[in-house]
A = this chain, B = another copy of it.
Amino acid sequence: MQVIACIPQISDIHTGCLTKMSSTEIFMQRLVDSRSQQAPPALLSPSIHTESEYIINSSPSPSYSPSLSSYFEEDTRSSFRNCTSRESLISTTSEKVLLMSSEQQSSVVQPLLTDLYQISMAYAYWKPNKHQELATFDLYFRKNPFGGEYTLFAGLDECLKFVRDYKFHSSDIEYLRASLPSYIESEFFDYLSTLNMNDIKIYAVPEGTVVFPRLPLMRIEGPVIKTQLIETTLLTLVNYASLVATNAARFRSAIGADKTLLEFGLRRAQGPDGGLSASKYCYLGGFDGTSNLLAGKLYGIPVKGTHAHAYVSSYESMDDLSERELCDRITGQRRPFADLCLQYLNVIGPVLKILPDETNKGELAAFISYAIAFPTNFLALVDTYDVLKSGVPNFLAVARALHECNYQAVGLRIDSGDLAYLSLEVRAKFHEISKKLNLSYMEHFTIVASNDINEDTLVSLEKQGHSIDSFGIGTHLVTCQKQPALGCVYKLVELAGSPRIKISQDIEKVTIPGRKNLFRFYGHDGKALCDLLTRIDEPEPQAAVRMLSRHPFSEQKRAYVTPTSVRSLYNLYWADGEIKYSLPTLKQIRTYVREQINELRKDHKRDLNPTPYKVSVSDDLFQFMHKLWMKNVPIGELE
């Protein structure tokens, strides 16, 4: 084998051909290995995720160095046209994952992103000098989303950044001053303008933890004015993050660990950073990548994508091709690529029982042009005209011509029609062609499907049978069609050392009073048994010690439990004006999510009538709560 480097010189026989190869051996090995690498990692496996490499993968290549641009000289652009290296075939996921706690955050996350009533209450606390009383708030939700029995907690990192950066802008103060009743004392605004969150504390379960209704996901302690002021923003940051992460985990669960799931939802998201949050938290919840470049840049998420229908429509016929040649990947020789494609279409047409004239030649030209631009990443969108009669034969002709030039096509994407049926038909054609051409890898071309896919579609596709390798999912994933809001709430549970309870005619809305700790009990199989809330000053429950766990509301529902192991779920994340706990990267959280879901018994996770997970309280907490409850519901007089 021979290593060929095309040095760009006008006099070079390989004019216009640039290759930055290291060794052909590596390529040949990749050719053999490439299928095995396309399998995404097992969802529940804690192993590091290796990215599949089809479609354009925008994860910065580890071989990237800033000096790359020095390969290119001024005014040599035309010399580099139509030339490739094989380097990108060896694209692997960058291990460089940006810290989520970077300074990058949407500019709208600021103290004024809150409800007016937080400011009204702040004033009403401040006026009688009650604002420094120490309060504890619990942030929790009352019902798992999507008819399921578990939820992923997400958004903590952004909450901590918000609290860290909490500062009213002078224009905020001017706005408030002008907006509130004019009798509000100027000193109140002075107070607001210097307010920070340095004397509050935030305890929380780690981001990515599997959580359940009524568990306080965050416990916020500090002066009531401050802990109250941050309510709305914390809820905003946790609610959607947790919802969409959970949605992603459910999609992953529906399709299994061996398929690739890509989030394509930016254009349909609710607001621009709805799209950004979706990309981030879908990755956290188990997706493999996103189409969203900004998410890639900010969070280090692998970014994927190919081309749109518009690109295909932009070519009407073969005459639109201004560039018809492609350099051979190995020899560097210029090859008549467009003619090769037409030639192979005549070979492939009869095998697929279509007339070569039947395929749309604008589509073919578009495929050829795209393959010339991205010969190492050729993945064609095949449903602009007719998947089986035009898109697939055109794709295969180009794939065969690429093979002739020592490249290997990646696959195709279907964006309309009956995805199960089409994928099976397409795979059958791949099979036929790979046999006919004696190119076995062609049987395994990647089939990407995208078109209004939701969780139920995935479940149904699995039942029907299909041959899709990768799913691009947008609208239903990011907008959480099944249930577009989680419904986290933020409730006062203690003030000035005294517990508070909110009573409601709706029993689910009654709060569990007082500062509490939170423990997860595990059985001998390592699976989570139940969660237990205790009063803050109770002794911690111990492994192998039998204790009574009680339903928080129903007196009759109680059970003894002897855990094999016990985990305390809270960490102190914010105190003394700093983030106290080293925050994991997004990728680390993603791995933790898989472990967390793995800790959950299967019956809690099944899609039909899953078993509710038990969230219980200690007997001490039960007694304490019910006493307070009784006290707050006075006995009426019947007439």
Say whether A182 faces chain B, with CB atoms less than 8 Å apart.
yes
Q: A113-B272, A121-B308 are in contact. Are A357 and B634 (CB under 8 A)?
A: yes
A498 at the binding interface (Cβ < 8 Å): yes
Q: Within the oligomer, what is the number of copies of this chain?
A: 2
CB of A506 closer than 8 Å to a CB of B: yes
Contact A636 to B355, CB < 8 A, known contacts A80-B185, A106-B106, A177-B68: yes
Chain B residues within an 8 Å CB radius of A124: 307, 311, 369-370, 373-374
Asked if residues A314 and B183 are in contact (CB atoms below 8 Å), the reply is: no
Instruction: Report whether B475 and A479 are in contact in the complex, using a CB–CB cutoff of 8 Å.
Output: no
Give chain B nearest CB distance to A276 CB in angstroms: 5
Chain B CB within 8 A of A509 CB: yes
Pick from B88, B109, B274, B377: contact of A240, CB under 8 Å = B274
Give Cα distance in the complex from A179 to B503, angstroms: 55
Chain B: CB-nearest residue to A482: B484
Q: Given A80-B183, A115-B267, A127-B372, 10 other A-B contacts at CB below 8 A?
A: A20-B183, A64-B177, A85-B182, A110-B294, A116-B305, A121-B310, A125-B314, A240-B269, A270-B277, A309-B492
Tell me if A84 counts as interface (CB < 8 A to partner B).
yes
Interface stretch, picked from A384-392, A395-403, A536-544, A593-601, is: A384-392
On chain B, the residues within 8 Å of A113 by CB distance are 266, 272, 275-276, 292-294
Q: Which residues of A475-497 have CB atoms within 8 Å of chain B's CB atoms?
A: 475, 478-481, 484-488, 490-492, 495
Contact indicator B386/A503 (Cβ below 8 Å): yes
Shortest distance in angstroms between A380's beta carbon and chain B's nearest beta carbon?
Answer: 12
Interface locus among A250-258, A316-324, A423-431, A569-577: A316-324
Cβ–Cβ contact B500 & A268, under 8 A: no
Do B185 and A358 have beta carbons less than 8 Å apart? no
A303 on the interface (CB 8 Å rule)?
yes
In the complex, are the beta carbons of B354 and A636 less than 8 A apart?
Answer: yes
Chain A residues bordering chain B, tally (CB within 8 A): 163
A33: Cβ under 8 A from any B Cβ? no
CA distance A610 to B273 in the complex (A): 34
Binary flags per residue of A41-75, CB closer than 8 Å to B gives 1, else 0: 00000000000000011111101101011011000
CB pair A119–B87 under 8 Å, yes or no, is no
Chain B nearest Cβ from A337, distance in angstroms: 12
Q: Contact check, A293 vs B116: say whether CB atoms are below 8 A apart.
A: yes
Known: A88-B183, A224-B314, A416-B504. A128 touches B56 (CB 8 A): no
Closest approach, in angstroms, between the C-beta of A418 and any C-beta of chain B? Answer: 9
* Partner pick for A293 among B115, B137, B308, B316, CB 8 A cutoff: B115
CA distance A374 to B124 in the complex (A): 8
Q: Which B residues are CB-close (under 8 A) to A320? A: 130
A376 touches which of B125, B181, B187 (Cβ 8 Å): B181
**Is B115's CB under 8 angstroms from A305's CB?**
yes
A275 to chain B, nearest CB (A): 6
Residues of B within 8 A of A118 (CB): 305
List the B side residues contacting A528 at CB < 8 Å: none
Q: Which residues of B contact A87 (CB under 8 A)?
A: 181-183
A313 sits at the interface (CB 8 A) = yes
Q: Known contacts A186-B72, A273-B108, A360-B632; is A60 also within 8 Å of B178 by CB?
A: yes
- Bound Cα distance from A85 to B182, whole angstroms: 8
Residues of B within 8 A of A71 (CB): 186
A509 touches which of B186, B231, B243, B416 (Cβ 8 Å): B416
Most buried by B among A81, A186, A313: A313
A and B contact pairs by CB, cutoff 8 A, 8 listed = A58-B176, A64-B182, A84-B183, A116-B305, A183-B376, A231-B308, A235-B268, A313-B502
Q: Give min CB distance, A108 to chain B, whole Å.
A: 5
Q: Does A373 contact B314, Cβ atoms closer than 8 Å?
A: no
- Chain B CB within 8 A of A239 CB: yes
Within 8 A of B (CB), among A486-535: 486-488, 490-492, 495, 498, 500-506, 509
Residues of chain B within 8 A (CB-CB) of A108 are 106-107, 272-273, 276, 294
CB contacts (< 8 Å) of A174 on chain B: these are: 66
Q: How far is the CA of A69 from the CA of B172 in the complex (A)?
A: 15
Chain B: minimal CB distance from A636 (Å): 6
Chain B residues with CB under 8 Å of A509's CB are: 416
Smallest CB gap from A109: residue in B: B272
Given the known A-B contacts A267-B239, A484-B270, are A181 and B91 also in contact in the complex, defined by CB atoms under 8 Å?
yes
CB neighbours of A264 from chain B (8 A): 115
Which residues of chain B are near A77, meaning CB under 8 Å? 185, 187
- A147 to chain B minimum Cβ distance, whole angstroms, is 15
Say which residue of B72, B120, B171 sits within 8 Å of A307 (CB atoms): B120
A264 to B485, CA, bound (A): 14
On chain B, the residues within 8 Å of A26 by CB distance are: none
Whether A236 is near chain B, meaning CB under 8 Å from some CB there, is: yes
Residues of chain B with a CB closer than 8 A to A129's CB? 322
Contact partner of A506 among B85, B235, B416, B491, CB < 8 A? B416
The answer to whether A116 touches B85, judged by C-beta atoms less than 8 angstroms apart, is no
The complex places the Cα of A570 from the Cα of B87 at a distance, in Å, of 48
Complex CA gap A478/B115 in Å reads: 15
Tell whether, in the assembled complex, residue B313 and residue A179 are in contact, meaning their CB atoms are under 8 Å apart.
no
Q: Is A353 an interface residue (CB 8 A)?
A: yes
- Shortest CB-to-CB span from A473 to chain B, Å, is 12
- Asked if A237 is at the interface (CB within 8 A of a chain B CB), the reply is yes
